[in-house]
Amino acid sequence: MELATRLKDINEYYFSQKLREIDAMNNAGKKVINLGIGSPDLPPHPDVIKTLHTESAKPTTHAYQNYKGSPVLRNAMADWYQKWYGVKLDAEAEILPLMGSKEGIVHICMTYLNEGDFALIPNPGYPTYRSAVSLAGGQPIAYDLKEENNWLPDFFQIEKLILENKAASNGLPGGSFKLMFVNYPHMPTGKLPDSKVFEQLVIFAKKHSILLVHDNPYSFILNDQPVSLMKAAGAMEVALELNSLSKSHNMAGWRVGMLVGAKERINEVLKFKSNMDSGMFLPLQLAAAKALELDELWHISVNEVYQKRQVKVFELLELLHCRFDLQQAGMFVWASIPEKYKDGYELSDKVLQQSNVFITPGGIFGTNGNKYVRVSLCSSEEKILEAIERIKNS
């Protein structure tokens, strides 16, 4: 059976392939320490688990649910945005619960991109942006984020990209710049947004009639000042924001996220989403609402763990003679590799083969990540210390 054309430029996700290689090494007795993937190893708050258990035991909570999600969850999301970001949202009209924010990336692309339309994606950036654009028939156009520019957009370079690609597509199907994906705190670099970048992005989006899509799952990890792009003046006119409980509340496998934006945009995305699923399990939604009620002590307790792990990862990277910024947010550490290595893949493969420790090559996030590696903080201090000893002794 011949594959659909939409899959011709889509490769299997890097981590999917790499995990098979690691599984094979483990089956051979290597016992690989995986410091590559950002899947929180800590549990959700006990009250969240208790809510899921209690609500699941009720005979009345197992039916299909509203496509827009439970009012309980949407109200909790609105309260959460008001409390932590200072953003006032209409729970009925401006919030759409998602089965994880990754789902939302695909939904947005399918909602707005016609064949041949352009979407701006960051380089380096989350690989799903590129694949979602391609699956929807769009053309991903990478804009540079570079260390020398503090991992912030260069708006002059992006304007040049827009003009060049519009000229090249003259007379071809599509050819409109529809979307621009942004992500701060940035993954994989850990860069926090400065006070002006969100305002600049909104002005830029208005100028070019582009819909901004801000992916914001890392704002609570190793960051005591969470910020939303939707706080910027005029953002509701030109932006959608994705958020998630995966990282902030240790609920990655629960698949609970949200999309926030203007009523018109939410309804447009819902038009597509409502044809893809039949709502989220109600006990999951009620447990997620409980998670969103947690106070500052929860986030402090989670970050205390990550801070201790980060110190050990810094030690590991120093062993590898990598250079890194001490001020990084999120659950990873991004580091530039020594010049003797061709790229991050070479260093990653060396550490894996010689020390049975896996760290992520930065090149999977785009060409601007080729000279970097990324190390996850989602393993215990004991595991990180064991990885350090293996590297020392190899």
For 208-246, how does the pLDDT look when each residue is reduced to its tens digit (9 = 90+)?
Answer: 999 999 999 999 999 999 999 999 999 999 999 999 999
Same domain, 269 and 138: yes
What is the pLDDT, as a whole number, of residue 170? 73
Distance separating alpha carbons of residues 328 and 154, to the nearest angstrom: 20
pLDDT over 70 at 4, yes or no? yes
Distance separating alpha carbons of residues 325 and 188, to the nearest angstrom: 13
Distance separating alpha carbons of residues 137 and 131, to the nearest angstrom: 10
What is the pLDDT, as a whole number, of residue 112? 97
At 302, which CATH number? 3.90.1150.10
Same domain, 204 and 166: yes
Same domain, 356 and 377: yes
* pLDDT band, very low/low/confident/very high, at 9 (cuts 50, 70, 90): confident
CA dist 60 → 52, 74, 272 (Å): 14, 20, 28
* pLDDT band, very low/low/confident/very high, at 169 (cuts 50, 70, 90): confident
Provide the token pair at 46: 């006990």
pLDDT over 80 at 10, yes or no? no
* pLDDT band, very low/low/confident/very high, at 161 (cuts 50, 70, 90): very high
Q: Burial letters for 281-299: b for 16+ Cβ neighbours within 10 Å, e otherwise?
A: bbbbbbbbbbbbebeeebb
What is the pLDDT, as a whole number, of residue 239? 98
What is the pLDDT, as a whole number, of residue 114? 94
Mean pLDDT rounded to a whole number for the chain = 95
* Residue that terminates a domain, selected from 292, 318, 343: 292
Spatial contact of 358 and 33, defined as CB atoms under 8 Å apart: yes
Same domain, 311 and 345: yes
SS3 140: strand
Same domain, 246 and 344: no
* pLDDT band, very low/low/confident/very high, at 54 (cuts 50, 70, 90): very high
Same domain, 227 and 175: yes
What is the pLDDT, as a whole number, of residue 205? 97
At 148, which CATH number? 3.40.640.10
pLDDT over 70 at 7, yes or no? yes
Closest to 313 in 3D by CA, of 359, 363, 264, 251: 359
What is the pLDDT, as a whole number, of residue 171? 66
Same domain, 287 and 302: no
pLDDT over 80 at 107, yes or no? yes
Provide the token pair at 234: 């005029």
* Residue that terminates a domain, selected from 264, 292, 320: 292
Can you tell me the mean pLDDT for 294-305? 97
Same domain, 246 and 355: no
Distance separating alpha carbons of residues 162 and 291, to the nearest angstrom: 41
* pLDDT band, very low/low/confident/very high, at 63 (cuts 50, 70, 90): very high
Q: How many helices (H) and strands (E) would you count in the chain?
A: 13, 13
HSE on the CB side for 261, CA within 13 Å?
A: 24
Contacts with 349 (C-beta within 8 Å, 6 or more apart), sequence order: none
Same domain, 241 and 137: yes
Residues 139-150 pLDDT 10s: 999 999 999 999
* pLDDT band, very low/low/confident/very high, at 57 (cuts 50, 70, 90): very high
What is the pLDDT, as a whole number, of residue 187? 97
Same domain, 83 and 188: yes
Can you tell me the mean pLDDT for 31-36? 94
Distance separating alpha carbons of residues 108 and 388, to the nearest angstrom: 42
Same domain, 233 and 100: yes
In the chain, the number of structural domains is 2
Give residue 303's domain range.
Answer: 5-43+297-392
Q: Which amino acid is at 300?
A: I
* Residue that terminates a domain, selected from 245, 274, 292: 292
CA dist 10 → 4, 13, 104, 216, 273 (Å): 11, 9, 18, 24, 22
The alpha carbon of 301 is separated from its chain's Cα centroid by a whole number of angstroms, namely: 22
Same domain, 116 and 213: yes
CA dist 255 → 36, 46, 335 (Å): 20, 18, 29
pTM confidence score: 0.94
